[in-house]
A and B are shown apart, each in its own frame.
Chain A
Amino acid sequence: MADDEPTTSRRTFLKFAGGTTAAAAVAGCAGGDQGGAQETTTGAETTTGAETTTAGNETTGSEETTSGGEASREALLQQANQLLHDQAPWVFLNRQYSVYGVSSNVEWTGRRDERIDGYAIQPQGDSSEVTITQSQMDSGLDPHDHRETPTDNIVLQAYEGVLARDAEGKVINQLATDYQRVEDGVVEFTLQDGVTFHEGGDLTAEDVAFSINRIVQEDVGGLASPQSDQLAGVTGAEAPDDSTVRVMSDGINPTVFAVFATYCDVMKRSWVEENDGAYINTHMNGTGPFRLANYQEGVEVVYERNEEYWGDPAPAQGLTIKSASESSTRVNQLLSGETDIAVNVPPQDVNRVRNADNASLTAVPSTRVLFNAMRYDVEPFSSQQFRQAMNLAIDLDSIIENVLQGFAAPTGQPTLEGFVGYNPDVNPYPQDVERAQQLVEESGHAGVSITLQTPVGRYLKDVEIAQAVANQINQLSNVNCELEQREFQALVGEITTGNIEDKPPFYLIGWGNATFDASQTIIPLVTTGGALTTFENEQVDQLMERAQSMGGEPNGN
């Protein structure tokens, strides 16, 4: 699976709200996911200070990476991940990959955040026009009024944020030249000079502050933005001078830079105020490397290069984004030369692209993880030994190889490699049927029957993965596992009620984390009071509380 890993890192601009496409998406609906976690949990837990003693060392053995007495935030998150690996609240499954077909007329590699940055596409042939086919078109062009990746891919060719991420997910500057934490809950961004909007006018700190307020405050900019919880904890922004933006948060907000690297596109205040929603949803006026040339709602969006871009002009002169909901149609377009990038090539179409002489595959780990949640409060999943046994029963590598054609990576902790808080010392559980049977025996649940519930068609190969998991658990001599296929919305209805008692005891689900920070996965899913939690553990809670009371690394990474 490593052969298609990306090698090049590229510059960008982005943002992403989860959902590879609305179809192969994350946990949430149409890509809505994580963000709210901060709102619902972090706010409630708040900061109890760093005097709590380090928890979890007896089980984890994970070293604190900083010198001196106080553990860094990252070290605390790593400890939490080690602890969660040992506690095994989930059957850890695979990290999803984003797989693209790329024509030999262009050079481009995928990004971890699933964004497709037209700016990074290098035309190779005679034509400097580039076409991208994704699964869906936008849901309107207002960058603050949506939550899906397909729309992001369209609006973010023209709009930019203060920060961005590189292809690996690291935080980098975009419209800002500098950013710093001024005090708890207050950060400042310094903007670069000489940035102009497509329809004229310079970028000012006032525009940035307005854009932030438009998202987080219902009465600003004529919109109650569905992205308000993506800028979790942020309460407002102001512009003390022309090039400084000051952002205020509730509490310390350790992930504030990570959040701004993913969310919040900057719009021109006067343009928003002078135009109505219908206009803003059919026009674009950003600072990005491409400007809108022609918008055909639901059909295609055509851009031309922004010759006045503040950075180097984009290599491609023109860019077209269109859509085909059928993956085979996207691949057909690629193979017949009608498009340059086909988004989301599923395993069954992989070989067609691989065997083509005018296209190739690029695959990159996404920010989405699949797992089987096990409710810690019901038997047999209340036993840590039983939960570990379920992990040891699984041959994750064979699932990845056979079901996903190698386009996935195994996981052994909630946090993904490359995220803040990922623990490099934690390995995925190996398959060990003997040991699994022994642990089941020790847990006192030998002979138990369990049922795994899985959504159908929500995630790439969800049913096939769940079938493999159920079969492999069935191979234990002392556990019987059945599979129950569920309609996604019905399953979601049960897991989002807020009461752990209403949730199915054992189910497959996916989770995307666009902020590249462990807290956005651990807090909502495996801490006490998390919106989707199926696992509660005092040590994990304490570690996360401490981590969230710290300012995080100054560079946001």
Chain B
Amino acid sequence: MSLARFLLKRGLQGVFVVWGVVTVVFLLRFITPGDPISVIAPLDASPATRQAIAAELGLNRPLYVQYLDYLVGLLQGDMGYSYISNTSASARVFARLPATLELAVAATLVAVVLSIPLGVLSATNRNEPVDYGATTFSLVGISTPNFWLGIMLVLLFAVEFGVFKTSGRGITSARALSALATGNLDVFVSWLTYITLPAITLGTYFTALITRLTRSGMLDELGSAYVRATRAKGLPETLVRYRHALRNTLIPVVTVLGLQLGTLIGGAVITEAVFAWPGLGTLVINSITGRDWVVLQGSLIVIGVGFVLINLVVDALYAYLDPRVVSD
């Protein structure tokens, strides 16, 4: 099987997954308690008012008509109009996407920068204090709920020491980076005061996970036959470790990185709430509390599609790194 065919197959599977997500998200509204109209209508609305609302929103049509209508709309990029927020749902959802992506990428960066060196150090210094430190860190990191970590970081570094902002986004990363490029350090630092704590909060679990993965991968590789061969050949230990063992370790690490990036997009809900970060997660929460179904559906679909897309990219990357995947 060629790479192209492999990707086509995965792409088609992705389409079906997205379709499934859309269907479930659509039906969610109908299987949750309380009918959609009582969500919208004032508590003391008369039956006539309720019927009028149903007619206005098209909720009095048969379910399959509403479903097909929704699907056709989605294919045209239309997620419906939210009568609660008075905007098109697509506009609202896509306006929030950059903030979420920014936070997810920042958290991934935190994780990569910390975890791979830590994992390598840990593996190459096995059963030494560095190793114990790193493994303890990953155990704690994996077991700490991130909302708790977020709250603690804020209390300590924002409220107590005042080093970082408690919440909010400040300016966009694009503006921060262009400020950095033009040497406007103040603006860049101010941006850092906003993003650092949420990025650490969101990235900690991930850092811990990759540290463990890198450590165990490195240990495996270092114990394998080809490493013994390279050592026997007289290669310097640094070359053995970083050119050969680490490279092979990175294959699963890349996979997990990609997959985690997908979960970060959807899984940032709690972190975003703790930091009032104006991304998709906050939008999801606000849509739920505001009973804004149209926006909620749109957000969930975008999160689902994002996850599928990232998976596809990871598959492609994996196929490239390890051609055996394609021939299976």
Q: For residue B54, give the distance in angstroms from its CB to the closest CB of chain A.
A: 14
The contact of B155 among A30, A299, A332, by CB within 8 Å, is A332
Known contacts A27-B44, A40-B44, A531-B43, then 11 further A-B pairs from the complex at CB < 8 Å, ordered by chain A residue? A30-B290, A136-B286, A298-B286, A324-B276, A326-B273, A328-B151, A329-B274, A332-B166, A487-B34, A488-B34, A493-B38
**A556 close to chain B: CB less than 8 A:** no
A328 to B273, CA, bound (A): 10
A136 to B39, CA, bound (A): 18
Chain B residue at minimum C-beta to C-beta distance from A140 = B86
Report which residue of B85, B158, B276 has the largest number of chain A beta carbons within 10 angstroms of its beta carbon. B276
**A304 close to chain B: CB less than 8 A:** no
Jot down 22 A-B pairs with beta carbons below 8 A, ordered by A.
Answer: A21-B289, A27-B44, A28-B42, A30-B291, A33-B43, A40-B44, A140-B85, A146-B86, A148-B290, A278-B87, A298-B96, A298-B283, A322-B168, A325-B282, A332-B155, A338-B167, A489-B34, A490-B34, A496-B45, A498-B47, A531-B43, A532-B43
The contact of B290 among A22, A333, A337, by CB within 8 Å, is A22
A542 to B168, CA, bound (A): 55
Q: Check A36/B44 contact, CB under 8 A, given A139-B85, A140-B87, A298-B278.
A: yes
**A323 close to chain B: CB less than 8 A:** yes
**A277 close to chain B: CB less than 8 A:** yes
Per the 8 Å Cβ criterion, residues 128-168 of B in contact with A are 151, 154-155, 158-159, 162, 165-168
Q: How many residues of A contact B (CB 8 A)?
A: 59
Chain A residue at minimum C-beta to C-beta distance from B165 = A338
Residues of B within 8 A of A35 (CB): 42, 44
A39 to B52, CA, bound (A): 15
Per the 8 Å Cβ criterion, residues 33-60 of B in contact with A are 33-35, 38-47, 49, 56
Q: Check A297/B95 contact, CB under 8 A, given A326-B274, A489-B38, A493-B34.
A: yes
Per the 8 Å Cβ criterion, residues 153-190 of B in contact with A are 154-155, 158-159, 162, 165-169
**A335 close to chain B: CB less than 8 A:** yes
Residues of A within 8 A of B49 (CB): 36, 229
Q: For residue B172, give the distance in angstroms from its CB to the closest CB of chain A.
A: 11
Binding site for B on A (CB under 8 A): 21-23, 26-30, 32-37, 39-40, 136-137, 139-140, 142, 145-148, 224, 229, 277-278, 281, 297-299, 322-326, 328-329, 332-333, 335-338, 487-490, 492-493, 495-496, 498, 524, 530-532
Contact status A532-B166, CB under 8 Å: no
Q: For residue B159, give the distance in angstroms from its CB to the closest CB of chain A.
A: 5
Contact status B87-A37, CB under 8 Å: no
Q: For residue B60, give the distance in angstroms from its CB to the closest CB of chain A.
A: 17
Q: Check A333/B38 contact, CB under 8 A, given A30-B290, A36-B44.
A: no
Binding site for A on B (CB under 8 A): 32-35, 38-47, 49, 56, 84-87, 92, 95-96, 151, 154-155, 158-159, 162, 165-169, 273-276, 278, 282-283, 285-286, 289-292
Contact status B289-A29, CB under 8 Å: no
Contact status B95-A34, CB under 8 Å: no
Residues of A within 8 A of B292 (CB): 139
Chain B residue at minimum C-beta to C-beta distance from A135 = B289
The contact of A139 among B40, B45, B159, B290, by CB within 8 Å, is B290
Q: Give 4 closest A-B pairs by Cβ, nearest first.
A: A489-B34, A140-B86, A32-B42, A531-B44
A524 to B44, CA, bound (A): 7
Residues of A within 8 A of B96 (CB): 298
